Amino acid sequence: MTRRPSPQTQRLLAALAAQPRAWRHGYGLSRETGLKAGTLYPMLTRLGERGLLEFRWVDSPVAGRPPRHACRLSSHGLALVLALPARPARSPSGAVNNG
């Protein structure tokens, strides 16, 4: 990334960085970040194209359900997140949370 990520992208990266080695599903990330599918999934695609995310198929724990696509930060993505300056936390509505 050559420019500072948007607040939405920073929120997603922070959520992924909280569990950097865990494979995460879009639905859980959407609930955690407050990002809607129309924002989240294109963002995941762009981050993957830039080498910041890894993707794989994960078997469902429920018998008979198909595998699910999951992602996690790549080592490059984690390095980027760690290099970002800290910002005040924001709620999904965008309001600053000062603690």
Tens digit of pLDDT per residue, the chain (99 long)? Answer: 567 889 999 999 999 999 999 999 999 999 999 999 999 999 999 999 999 999 999 988 889 999 999 999 999 999 989 888 765 555 555 555 544
Q: pTM to 2 decimals?
A: 0.78
* pLDDT score of 60: 84
* H-run or E-run covering 81: helix 75-83
* pLDDT score of 91: 54
* pLDDT score of 85: 79
Contact 26, 35 (CB under 8 A): no
* pLDDT score of 36: 96
Kindly list the structural domains of the chain, giving each domain's residue range(s) and its CATH number in brackets, ordered by start: 7-87 (1.10.10.10)
Residues 6+ apart with CB under 8 A from 19: 72
CA 63/CA 40 separation, integer angstroms: 27
* pLDDT score of 99: 44
CA 49/CA 68 separation, integer angstroms: 19
